[in-house]
Amino acid sequence: MHSISRRGLLKTGAAAGVLAATGMPVRAAQRGGTFKLGLAGANTSDSWDGRTHSDSYMIVTAHGCVFDCLTEVNANGELVGELAESWEASADAKTWTFKLRQGVTFHNGKPFGADDVIESLQMHTAEGAKSAAKPIVSAITEMKKLGEHEVQFTLAAGNADFPFLMSDYHILMYPAGMIEEAIAKGIGTGLYKVDSFDPGVRTLMSRVDSHYKDGKAGWFDSVEVIAINDSSARMNALMTGQIDAANRVDFKLENLLKANPNINIFEVTGNQHYTFPMLTNLSPFDNLKVRQALKFAINREEMVEKVLLGHGAVGNDHPIGPANQYYAADLPQNDYDPDKAAALIKEAGLDGLQVDLSSSDAAFSGAVDAAQLYQASAKAAGIDINVVQEPADGYWSNVWLKKPWVACYWSGRATEDWMFSTAYETGVPWNDTKWENARFQELLLLARAELDQAKRRDMYTEMQALISSEGGTVVPMYANYVDAHSTKITNGGATIGNLWQLDSSRIIERWWMA
Amino acid sequence: MNSVLRILVQRIGLGILTLFIVSIVIFGSVNLLPGDFAQAILGQGATDEAVAAIREQIGLTKPFWVRYFDWLGALVTGDLGVSYSQLMFAANMGGDQLIPITTQIAPRFYNTMFLAGLTAMIAVPFSLFLGVLAALYRGSVFDRGANIFTLSSISSPEFFLAYILILFLAVQGQWLPSLASVKPDMPLGERVYTTLLPALTLTLVVTAHMMRMTRAAIINLLASPYIEMARLKGISPMRVVVKHALPNALAPIINVIALNLAYLITGVVVVEVVFAYPGIGNLFVDAVRTRDIPMVQICCLIFAAAYILLNLTADVLSILSNPRLRHPK
């Protein structure tokens, strides 16, 4: 399996270099201490119901701490077993058999087994339940308990990524028969059990006595996760040593943090990307030349510099990022080329181009600025972009998917197929460009059921190239996950996961007291 | 005493009427905000079906006056209701273990009252003291200094004051924690220590008003004949102010104190957010963000009730402190 992306390697290489250069002794992992983590993305309405998790606070505490999934993506991007020990597929990738780890118990003492897996998955398709993982689970047509520690899934259609999907942060394992209680109290199989949980305020957790990850993860004795949504308050708390790590560094405070010798900023480029999707069923975006012209009329470097203040990487008009397995890093880059854009407009048989671009900071922070930068760079190509500032409230229901050309963001998906089938497959509700392409659709289905990795790589590369050159989305940039930690904690200079913020949301498991 | 009773009854009646009007205004204005709970909670995932499903679950499909009167009817019977997020959570779980707003709000309310109480304990004596001294030495450097200090702190936005205090007392001095993260089981001393920085911020905000009213009321009285008489008797200036002027100046001072105490309960939103203090203000901000109308309503009603009650208390106290009002002819 492809392990480290090019960019990821560069990033972590640089991070290791910095550590080495500062001459900081890297202490080997050992148990002890209380870890205090300050997080944005907390809500009074938070609960231990994995189906509803969407923001960092609950993802870090539930997925990265209290609960386990069947599989886990490690810091290098490889898929490893979490509650599953091993898995194998039939040749058509339709039937998957998972062998479960033995001797695992929930925090209330109940042993973990096949029933728990089946019931935990059924939660997502239960009547009236709303789960973000419903599309994943509803693809399973049959779940069979082969033994106490063996489950077999039959899928409606072959899916080579199925084990990958089982690492999704919504699909947590709850104890069968007491799921309501487990959600009320936070009873999982994770390294830390819940001592107290005050939604939108704080969570206190302590290490379980023995765990199957002993010796590999879970170094802190106890953990306190504090909800600090205000970014200045979060950075202050880090500066004054009240917390040991914080997510979402405020770029404006970056220099202040850097000046503090006790604080390190760590950032990774993952799959999170910002987009400008156009509805390709509407004029003028139904014209391929127009779409291509717009892709050459944007100055991506400038946007990364000015909107992300350098904390990102240029995008290439497709949604697959460095944290994906089959990220095509060597695809020809769509560059800023106003002459080419102007020529394409002419080829399209148009005399100049006038388009509206709807934007709001609800799409992503700095989206209005980004739209204005776009306007300025497109002017050189004779394209007149009229930036329409939309109200942030109701942006996702009234503007996105409704107005012809808008600003949008995607946190990305762990697998190519998942990303494509969420927003690029013909006819899916979130296909925000209404783009339809027969070859793409064909490849999507072929690659989904293909178990041969080399073949999949070729197919996914072709699909990325297709979207990049013909698709309806302009992807100006990938936004880094930028977090900060105090030198009181360390991960020994290991690779930092880039699937999500804070070491793929597993900072609590993977780090220790320096 | 009869007049006090009459005023009490009258005011409480008016207060309830005010609360009623407030609730209509809040309900109406939250409804006017673009987007509703379903859209706010779903964010990017707000597809038509998902929005419709949530609206169905929490009863948003009913016209808004029906929802209002349902809510009001329950409130009159003492049922504060259930927040939308709890309703949705319960619908998702398929169970019916609803956590009522009362349970959600109680610890937050306690925290907010604690912060307000602590601030009042610092701010009221402090501003009375400053006010008396400023009146005593009016026109002096001290008087002017106190005026400039309090006026500039009241003119600055709260978050600015908060950051200034954090900068000096938490970041550079490292004396106080910048994060007021109180826990339910904290011992009192630690709790006070943790809450001190937000309390000091609020003190800076409310001091000027109280201090200047104290000063003005006393100076006003100092010109009256009976004070002159007292001076002529040879009483020391301090004694004149504290013993003779202050009791008669109490009525306006009490009024201002009450207003400021009400502000301490209702105006804490910004301070609570800056210090991540788990009070009603933070809850309120959360609720407005997700358009959780029942929660917003209850928070607003608490704020409004605090204003009305404290104003009522002020009126009663000022009557009691004034013999002429206490024994009307």
Is residue A48 a contact partner of residue A38, using CB atoms and an 8 Å limit? no
Map tokens 């978050």 to a residue.
B159
Both B79 and B176 in one domain: the answer is: no
Nearest to A396 among B46, B53, B181 (CB): B46
The length of chain B, given as a count of residues: 329
Q: Which CATH class is domain A68-189?
A: alpha beta
Phi, psi torsion values for B210, nearest 5 degrees: -70, -40
Phi, psi torsion values for A222, nearest 5 degrees: -145, 160
**What pLDDT shows up at residue B22?**
87
Q: At what angle do helices A453-470 and A288-296 cross, to 10 degrees?
A: 90
Lowest mean pLDDT among A223-227, A425-429, A438-442, B103-107: A425-429
DSSP B17-50: HHHHHHHHHHHHHHHHSSS-HHHHHHGGG--HHH
Q: Which residue of A has its CA nearest to B277?
A: A201
Mutate to test the interface with B, among A134, A263, A397 (most CBs of B within 10 A): A397
Both B273 and B167 in one domain: the answer is: yes
| DSSP code at position A406 | B
Task: Name the 3-class secondary structure at A435.
Answer: coil
Query: In chain B, which residues have their Cβ closer than 8 Å to the Cβ of A398?
Result: 34
**B94-B48-A164 Cα angle (round to 5):** 65
Both B61 and B118 in one domain: the answer is: no
Q: At what angle do helices A438-449 and A453-470 cross, to 10 degrees?
A: 160
Q: Is residue B311 part of a domain?
A: no
What is the C-alpha separation between A444 and A425, in angstroms, rounded? 8
Q: Which residue of A has its CA nearest to B178?
A: A237
**What pLDDT shows up at residue A109?**
93
| DSSP code at position B148 | H
Both B74 and B116 in one domain: the answer is: no
Give ranges for CATH 3.10.105.10 in chain A: 273-479
Q: Tell me: pLDDT of B139 over 90.
A: no
> With bands split at pLDDT 50, 70 and 90, how would you rate the model's confidence at A18?
very low
| Domain boundary, last residue among B83, B101, B119 | B101
Q: Candidates 3.40.50.300, 3.90.550.10, 3.10.105.10, 3.40.50.2000; correct CATH number of A273-479?
A: 3.10.105.10
Q: Do residue B85 and residue A227 have CB atoms under 8 angstroms apart?
A: no
Q: How many alpha carbons fall within 13 Å on the CB side of residue A488?
A: 17
Lowest mean pLDDT among A20-34, A484-498, B311-325: A20-34
Question: What's the whole-number mean pLDDT along residues A66-92?
Answer: 92
Question: Which amino acid appears at position B217 of this protein?
Answer: A
Task: Name the 3-class secondary structure at A356.
Answer: strand
Give ranges for CATH 3.90.76.10 in chain A: 68-189
Residue B187, preceding bond cis, omega within 30 degrees?
A: no
**What pLDDT shows up at residue B114?**
92
Burial of A343 (0-12, 13-18, 19+ CB in 10 A): middle
Both B155 and B41 in one domain: the answer is: no
> With bands split at pLDDT 50, 70 and 90, how would you rate the model's confidence at A418?
confident
Is the CB of residue A52 less than 8 Å away from at least one CB of chain B?
yes
| Domain boundary, last residue among B54, B82, B101 | B101
Q: Give per-residue pLDDT as tens, B153-190.
A: 888 888 889 889 988 998 888 888 888 888 888 889 99
On average, the pLDDT of chain A sits at 88
Residues 6 or more apart whose Cβ sits within 8 Å of residue B308: B11, B15, B18, B19
Q: Is residue B312 part of a domain?
A: no
Structural domains in chain B (count): 2
Q: Do residue A233 and residue B290 have CB atoms under 8 angstroms apart?
A: no
What is the C-alpha separation between A340 and A337, in angstroms, rounded? 5
Q: Which of A487, A483, A465, A239 is nearest to A333 (CA)?
A: A465
Is the CB of residue A123 less than 8 Å away from at least one CB of chain B?
no
What is the C-alpha separation between A464 and A326, in angstroms, rounded? 10
Q: Which of B315, B281, B309, B262 is nearest to B19 (CA)?
A: B309
Q: How far is CA B309 from the centre of its chain?
A: 11
A/B interface, count of CB pairs below 8 Å: 124
Measured between CA atoms, how close is A163 to chain B, in angstroms? 25
What is the C-alpha separation between B1 and B187, in angstroms, rounded? 42
The length of chain A, given as a count of residues: 514
Both B205 and B143 in one domain: the answer is: yes
Q: Give per-residue pLDDT as tens, B75-118.
A: 888 787 788 877 777 777 766 667 788 888 888 999 999 999 99
**What pLDDT shows up at residue A412?**
85
Instruction: Tell me the β-bridge partners of A79.
Output: A73
Q: Is residue B326 part of a domain?
A: no
Q: Do residue A239 and residue B53 have CB atoms under 8 angstroms apart?
A: no
Q: Where are the alpha helices (DSSP H) in A193-287?
A: 231-239, 254-259
How many CB atoms within 10 Å of residue A155?
20
Residues 6 or more apart whose Cβ sits within 8 Å of residue A91: A451
Question: What's the whole-number mean pLDDT along residues A486-514?
Answer: 90
Question: What's the whole-number mean pLDDT along residues A21-37?
Answer: 74
**What pLDDT shows up at residue A155?**
93
Strand-strand pairing, A383-389 and A353-359: parallel
Is the CB of residue A428 less than 8 Å away from at least one CB of chain B?
no
Both B109 and B190 in one domain: the answer is: yes
Both B153 and B257 in one domain: the answer is: yes
Q: Give per-residue pLDDT as tens, B244-294.
A: 888 888 888 888 888 888 888 887 888 888 888 988 988 888 888 777 888
Give ranges for CATH 3.40.190.10 in chain A: 1-47+192-268+481-514
Q: Do residue A240 and residue B177 have CB atoms under 8 angstroms apart?
A: yes
Lowest mean pLDDT among A310-319, A373-382, B316-325: B316-325
What is the C-alpha separation between B325 and B323, in angstroms, rounded? 5
Q: At what angle do helices A338-347 and A367-379 cross, to 10 degrees?
A: 70
* ipTM value for the complex: 0.81
Measured between CA atoms, how close is B3 to chain A, in angstroms? 46
Nearest to B92 among A44, A129, A398 (CB): A129
Instruction: Tell me the β-bridge partners of A473.
Output: A277
> With bands split at pLDDT 50, 70 and 90, how would you rate the model's confidence at A149?
very high
Q: Do residue B178 and residue A126 have CB atoms under 8 angstroms apart?
A: no
**What pLDDT shows up at residue A460?**
93
Is residue B197 a contact partner of residue B169, using CB atoms and an 8 Å limit? yes
Question: Which amino acid appears at position B237 of this protein?
Answer: P
Query: In chain B, which residues have their Cβ closer than 8 Å to the Cβ of A229?
Result: 273, 276
Is the CB of residue A195 less than 8 Å away from at least one CB of chain B?
no
Both B112 and B135 in one domain: the answer is: yes
What is the C-alpha separation between A39 and A285, in angstroms, rounded? 40
Residues 6 or more apart whose Cβ sits within 8 Å of residue A385: A355, A356, A357, A371, A374, A375, A378, A379
Is residue B298 a contact partner of residue B105, using CB atoms and an 8 Å limit? yes
Strands (E), chain B: none
Map tokens 């199925």 to a residue.
A162
Is residue B126 a contact partner of residue B203, using CB atoms and an 8 Å limit? yes
Q: Tell me: pLDDT of A276 over 80.
A: yes
Question: What's the whole-number mean pLDDT along residues A238-260?
Answer: 88
> With bands split at pLDDT 50, 70 and 90, how would you rate the model's confidence at A317?
very high
Q: Give per-residue pLDDT as tens, B14-44.
A: 888 988 898 888 888 877 777 777 777 776 6
Measured between CA atoms, how close is A340 to chain B, in angstroms? 34
Q: Is residue B175 part of a domain?
A: yes
Both B213 and B265 in one domain: the answer is: yes
Question: What's the whole-number mean pLDDT along residues A38-49?
Answer: 88
Q: Is residue B297 part of a domain?
A: no
**What pLDDT shows up at residue A110?**
93
| Domain boundary, last residue among B78, B101, B124 | B101
Q: Which of A358, A504, A374, A488 is nearest to A36 (CA)?
A: A488
Both B85 and B204 in one domain: the answer is: no
Is the CB of residue A259 less than 8 Å away from at least one CB of chain B?
no
Residues 6 or more apart whose Cβ sits within 8 Å of residue B244: B226, B227, B230, B235
Both B183 and B254 in one domain: the answer is: yes
Q: At what angle do helices B293-320 and B246-266 cross, to 10 degrees?
A: 180
Strands (E), A236-277: 245-246, 263-268, 273-277
Measured between CA atoms, how close is B277 to chain A, in angstroms? 8
Q: Which of A420, A414, A256, A443 is nearest to A324 (CA)?
A: A414
Which letter, b or e, does each residue of B52-73 get, where b requires 16 or more Cβ atoms within 10 Å of its Cβ? ebbbebbebeeeeeebbeebee
Q: Candidates 1.10.3720.10, 3.30.300.20, 3.40.50.1000, 3.40.190.10; correct CATH number of A1-47+192-268+481-514?
A: 3.40.190.10
Question: What's the whole-number mean pLDDT along residues A368-376?
Answer: 93
Residue range of the domain that includes B71: 2-101
Q: Do residue B273 and residue A230 have CB atoms under 8 angstroms apart?
A: yes
Q: Which residue of A has its CA nearest to B87?
A: A45
Question: Which amino acid appears at position A11 of this protein?
Answer: K
Q: Tell me: pLDDT of A13 over 70.
A: no
Q: Give per-residue pLDDT as tens, B46-75.
A: 667 777 877 877 777 788 788 888 888 888
Question: What's the whole-number mean pLDDT along residues A360-383?
Answer: 90
> With bands split at pLDDT 50, 70 and 90, how would you rate the model's confidence at A392?
confident
Map tokens 């505490």 to a residue.
A61
Query: In chain A, which residues have their Cβ closer than 8 Å to the Cβ of B183?
Result: 202
> With bands split at pLDDT 50, 70 and 90, how would you rate the model's confidence at A26?
low
Phi, psi torsion values for A330, nearest 5 degrees: -100, 10
Question: What's the whole-number mean pLDDT along residues A429-436?
Answer: 88
Phi, psi torsion values for B94, nearest 5 degrees: 75, 0
Q: Which residue of B has its CA nearest to A228?
A: B276
Query: In chain B, which residues have their Cβ closer than 8 Å to the Cβ of A393?
Result: 33-35, 40
CATH of the domain at B174: 1.10.3720.10
Measured between CA atoms, how close is B227 to chain A, in angstroms? 51
| DSSP code at position A105 | B
**What pLDDT shows up at residue B95?**
61
Q: Do residue A54 and residue B85 have CB atoms under 8 angstroms apart?
A: no
Question: What's the whole-number mean pLDDT along residues A7-31?
Answer: 52
Task: Name the 3-class secondary structure at A50.
Answer: helix
